[in-house]
Amino acid sequence: MNAAPPSSRKRWLWLAIALALVLVAVFVFVLRKPAEPEKPGAEAAPRPSLTVTLARPTRGNLPIRLQANGNITAWQEASVGAEVNGLRLASVNVNVGDVVRKGQVLAVFASETTKADSLQSQASLMQAQASFENARADADRARSIQDTGALSKSQVAQYLTQEKVARAQFEAAKAAFGATEVRLGNTRVLAPDDGVISARTATVGAVVGAGQELFRMVRQSRMEWRGEVTPSEVGRIRVGQKVQVTAATGLEIGGQVRAIAPAADLQTRNILVFVDLPRHPELKAGTFARGHFDLGQSEALTVPSQAIVVRDGSNYVFVIDEQHKANQRKVQTGRRVEERVEVLEGLKAEESVAVQGAGFLNEGDLVKVVQ
């Protein structure tokens, strides 16, 4: 077979090169995206950075409150002690926290010795009574015959004197017996009033002396709050005024001013205000509590509490203008009631502030406002 001439091979080579150039041109044309001509003066529209809700300040009456700190204490405490001396405690019937009734038996002393003394005093009383009755009978006979001359005046006087001595001995024996009965009764320690046991030192088997404290109880289970106010503030408080007290547990309970101390504490220079509290199981004596005295109402400009942003120890709000741009504004706040905060300075009533999302804003941010 004869080989192709050189001219034919060159022709095919040029055709292949031309075909390759065409394919490259088509590929570049398809993939190349022609740039659209920019319109003169056109700029990219800015996008909002956050979505917020708006609210306008509102005017309304807010309560005027005087804040104070203090402690919850017992209204009155009763000290229950031993009235007998040298006896052993046989039983203790109550413990700390128990609610007791007036006259309830709290503890019992061993009464064997006291019972023996009581029986001895009773026997002495009976003996003195018999002697008195015998002396009185002799004296009655002497009085009946003293005018007949059967007895001399000295004998009559002797019978009358013996009657008086026997009467005195009988009364003394009666008093001694009564004392032993009282001592026997004191072997049972009774609650002096309704209340709750707050402390106990009584121990079974202990021999205590007269007057030693066995129990301490909160009378009638009543508590009170003793708030501390300054001399400049106490003039705004009146007896019978309503007080809202917040205990350490978070319990909020209403009270009423019962009394105001006539003198200030020498160390703190504060004046105590005694506030009666209703009975509640969460109130514990000796715990800390806050309170506020209601002093009336006044008009105030308020915003939602979510609109207040605290930064670097100062309070701010973000005012949103007509272009939805955030402007950071420093404000002075006042009273806080539920979800509203009083604004004293730095904000006008006709301005709108960001509420939800305000904590994430910065000066000049563009926002999207939603309902």
pLDDT by residue (tens digit) across 351-360?
999 998 888 8
Q: To which H or E segment does residue 186 belong?
A: none
Q: Which whole number is the average pLDDT over 318-328?
A: 90
pLDDT at 41 over 70: no
pLDDT at 201 over 50: yes
Q: Both 211 and 225 in a single domain?
A: no
Q: Is residue 36 part of a domain?
A: no
Confidence of residue 39 (pLDDT cuts 50, 70, 90): very low
Domain enclosing residue 181, as ranges = 111-185
Q: Is residue 6 part of a domain?
A: no
* CATH of residue 313: 2.40.420.20
Q: Is residue 252 part of a domain?
A: yes
* CATH of residue 259: 2.40.30.170
Q: How many domains does the chain have?
A: 4
At 102-146, the pLDDT tens digits run 999 999 999 888 888 889 999 999 999 999 999 999 888 888 887
* Percent of the chain with pLDDT strictly greater than 90: 45
Residue at which a domain ends, from 219, 241, 262: 219
**Distance in angstroms (rounded) separating the CA atoms of residues 67 and 72:** 16
Q: Is residue 40 part of a domain?
A: no
Long-range contacts of 201-208 (CB under 8 A, 24+ apart): 202/89, 202/92, 202/106, 202/107, 203/89, 203/92, 204/89, 204/90, 204/91, 204/92, 205/88, 205/89, 206/88, 206/89, 207/86, 207/87, 207/88, 207/89, 208/82, 208/87, 208/89
Q: Is residue 234 part of a domain?
A: yes
Q: Is residue 99 part of a domain?
A: yes
Q: Both 180 and 234 in a single domain?
A: no
